[in-house]
Chains A and B, each alone.
Chain A
Amino acid sequence: MTVGIPDRESGAASLGAGARPKAPSTGSGPAETAIARAQWQRVIYANPPRRADLLALSALWPTQPFRVQVIRNQPFEFVASALRPFLAFGGLEAISSYSDYDDSLSVPVERGADVIIVWLDYERYSQLSPEDLAEWLEHRLQRIREKTKAPILVNNQPSSAGEEGALNHLLNRIVTRVAGVYVADQAAIARSLGARYRDERTARLAGTTVSDLAWLETARLMGLSWLPALLLQPVKAVAVDLDGTLYNGVLGEDGPAEVILTPEHIELQQRLLTLRESGIFLAAVSRNDPADVDSLFHDRTDLRIRPEHFSAMAVSWAAKAEGIHQIARDLRIDEDAILFIDDNPGELAAVASTIPKVRTLHGVDPRLTTQALQAFPGLFRWSRSESDARRIGDLAATRIRQQIAENGHDPNEYLQSLQVELGIGVDLNSHLERLHELSQKTNQFNSSLRRIGAAEVAEYIREPDRHALSISLRDRLSDSGVVGAIFLTIDGDSASIDEIAISCRALGRRLERLMIFAAIHRALADRSVSKVSFRFTPGPRNGPARDWLSTLAGWVDGTDIVTIPWRAADVAREIAAGGVRMTELSE
Chain B
Amino acid sequence: MMDHRAERQVRDVVATVLGRPIGPDERLTRASEPGWDSLRHVEILLAIEGVCGVRFDEQEMGGLDSVEKLVDSVERHRAA
Tell me the A77-91 residues at the B interface (CB within 8 Å): 77-78, 81
Report yes or no: A206 in contact with B38, Cβ–Cβ below 8 A.
yes
Tell me the B35-68 residues at the A interface (CB within 8 Å): 38-39, 41-43, 46-58, 61-62
A77 to B39 CA separation, bound complex (whole angstroms): 7
Q: Which chain B residues border A11 with CB–CB below 8 Å?
A: 50-51
- Interchain Cβ contacts within 8 Å, total number: 88
A52 to B8 CA separation, bound complex (whole angstroms): 13
Report yes or no: B47 in contact with A51, Cβ–Cβ below 8 A.
yes
Tell me the A523-574 residues at the B interface (CB within 8 Å): none
Determine chain B's interface SS by DSSP, over half rule: helix
Report yes or no: B55 in contact with A10, Cβ–Cβ below 8 A.
no
Instruction: Given A7-B52, A51-B50, check contact A205 B78 (CB 8 Å).
Output: no
Q: Which chain A residues border B8 with CB–CB below 8 Å?
A: 10
Report yes or no: B46 in contact with A2, Cβ–Cβ below 8 A.
no
B29 within 8 A of A: no
Q: Which chain B residues border A206 with CB–CB below 8 Å?
A: 38-39, 42
A202 within 8 A of B: yes
Scoring A3, A13, A201 by chain B CB atoms within 10 A of each residue's CB, the highest score goes to A201
Instruction: Given A7-B78, A13-B12, A21-B16, check contact A2 B53 (CB 8 Å).
Output: yes
Report yes or no: A10 in contact with B13, Cβ–Cβ below 8 A.
yes
A291 within 8 A of B: no
A2 to B77 CA separation, bound complex (whole angstroms): 6
Report yes or no: B62 in contact with A205, Cβ–Cβ below 8 A.
yes
Report yes or no: A10 in contact with B53, Cβ–Cβ below 8 A.
no
Tell me the A114-147 residues at the B interface (CB within 8 Å): none
Q: Which chain A residues border B80 with CB–CB below 8 Å?
A: 1-2
Instruction: Given A55-B17, A204-B62, check contact A6 B53 (CB 8 Å).
Output: yes
Minimum distance in angstroms from B13 CB to a CB of chain A: 5
Instruction: Given A3-B55, A51-B50, check contact A12 B43 (CB 8 Å).
Output: no
By beta carbon, the residue of chain B nearest A199 is B46
B24 within 8 A of A: no
Instruction: Given A2-B55, A3-B55, check contact A12 B39 (CB 8 Å).
Output: no
Q: Which chain A residues border B50 with CB–CB below 8 Å?
A: 5, 11, 50-53, 212
A12 to B77 CA separation, bound complex (whole angstroms): 22
By beta carbon, the residue of chain B nearest A75 is B39
Q: Which chain B residues border A77 with CB–CB below 8 Å?
A: 39, 43
Q: Which chain B residues border A205 with CB–CB below 8 Å?
A: 38, 41-42, 61-62
Q: Which chain B residues border A4 with CB–CB below 8 Å?
A: 49, 53-55
Report yes or no: A7 in contact with B39, Cβ–Cβ below 8 A.
no
Q: How large, as a class, is the contact surface on chain B?
A: 20 to 34
Instruction: Given A2-B53, A2-B54, A56-B16, check contact A10 B9 (CB 8 Å).
Output: yes
A302 within 8 A of B: no
Q: Which chain B residues border A200 with CB–CB below 8 Å?
A: 58
A8 within 8 A of B: yes
By beta carbon, the residue of chain B nearest A56 is B16
Minimum distance in angstroms from A78 CB to a CB of chain B: 7
Report yes or no: A52 in contact with B38, Cβ–Cβ below 8 A.
no
By beta carbon, the residue of chain A nearest B20 is A21
Q: Which chain A residues border B55 with CB–CB below 8 Å?
A: 2-5
A324 to B55 CA separation, bound complex (whole angstroms): 48
By beta carbon, the residue of chain B nearest A206 is B42
Tell me the A202-243 residues at the B interface (CB within 8 Å): 202, 204-206, 212
Report yes or no: B51 in contact with A52, Cβ–Cβ below 8 A.
yes
Report yes or no: B53 in contact with A55, Cβ–Cβ below 8 A.
no
Minimum distance in angstroms from A349 CB to a CB of chain B: 28
A-facing mask of B21-35, CB < 8 A → 1, else 0? 100000000000000
Name A residues whose Cβ lies closer than 8 Å to a Cβ of B.
Answer: 1-13, 21, 50-53, 55-56, 75, 77-78, 81, 200-202, 204-206, 212
Q: Can you give 28 contacting A-B residue pairs, CB < 8 Å?
A: A2-B77, A3-B55, A4-B53, A4-B54, A5-B49, A5-B53, A5-B55, A6-B53, A7-B52, A7-B78, A10-B8, A12-B12, A13-B12, A50-B47, A50-B50, A51-B43, A51-B46, A51-B47, A52-B50, A52-B51, A55-B47, A78-B39, A78-B43, A81-B17, A81-B43, A204-B58, A205-B38, A205-B62
The 3 closest A-B pairs by CB, nearest first: A7-B53, A212-B46, A201-B58
Name B residues whose Cβ lies closer than 8 Å to a Cβ of A.
Answer: 8-9, 12-13, 15-17, 19, 21, 38-39, 41-43, 46-58, 61-62, 77-78, 80
Q: A2-B80, A51-B43, A75-B39 are in contact. List 17 more A-B contacts (CB 8 A).
A: A2-B78, A3-B55, A5-B53, A10-B13, A10-B51, A11-B50, A11-B51, A21-B21, A50-B51, A51-B47, A51-B50, A52-B17, A56-B16, A77-B39, A200-B58, A206-B39, A206-B42
